[in-house]
Amino acid sequence: MHAQPAAATLNYAPIGTAAATAIGVAIAILVWAAVSNSAFPVIGSHDRAALWVVFGLGVTMCAVAGIGQTSTSLGWLHPITLIGIALGVLAVVPLLLVLFGWTAPLTSAGHLFGGSFATLSVERIAIAGLGLLILVKWVLGFSHYVIRP
């Protein structure tokens, strides 16, 4: 019996990265709707639901791209692994801030960026922050495939 080739699994670089990128495009659409203060596609104007959807899609991106791929090929103490772990933990922060009603950091972030950010709901500011963290984590994960041994 022969094992199935690696190319057929989702965490193989081209397939996993393409799937994660497709999910990332969906997240980008939701982030754009949040930042432009528009209704969310399919979700409507339910800001908190959209935040949960963006968070769930971000976790799904990590899963389809292959959780643990970086630590397996580069090691647990490699900077890409450590930064990826830190970004993953940090991605939970916007969700927790909204969930527990700690709005001051989100409101401050909205005023810091100014313009239309200052008028967004805390959920929409959290979506924008989470989207930015997801983008940085995607770039970091994609760079892993470029430098891995």
Number of CB atoms found within 10 A of residue 100's CB: 8
Rounded average pLDDT per 10-residue block, the chain, 149 residues:
46 70 93 90 86 94 78 81 90 94 89 83 93 91 69
Q: Tell me, what's the pLDDT at 9?
A: 44
Mention every residue, 6+ apart, whose C-beta is less than 8 A from residue 38: 32
d(C-alpha 42, C-alpha 53), whole Å = 11
2 assigned to some structural domain: no
Task: Check residue 8 and give its pLDDT.
Answer: 42
pTM above 0.85, yes or no: no
In total, how many domains does the chain have?
1
CA–CA distance, 90 with 83 (Å, rounded to integer): 10
pLDDT of residue 148: 59
The answer to the question of residue 56 being in a domain is yes
Q: Is residue 3 in a domain?
A: no
Q: Does some domain include residue 1? A: no
Tell me whether residue 97 is in a domain.
yes
Q: Is residue 142 included in any domain, yes or no? A: yes
pLDDT for res 32: 94
Q: Which domain holds residue 84?
A: 9-147
- Asked if residue 102 is part of any domain, the answer here is yes
Instruction: Determine the 3-state secondary structure of 17 from DSSP.
Output: helix
What's the CA gap between 110 and 125, in Å, rounded?
6
Closest CA to 50 of 68, 32, 66: 32
Strand partners, 40: 44
Residue 17: what pLDDT?
Answer: 77
Element (H, E) at 104: helix 104-113
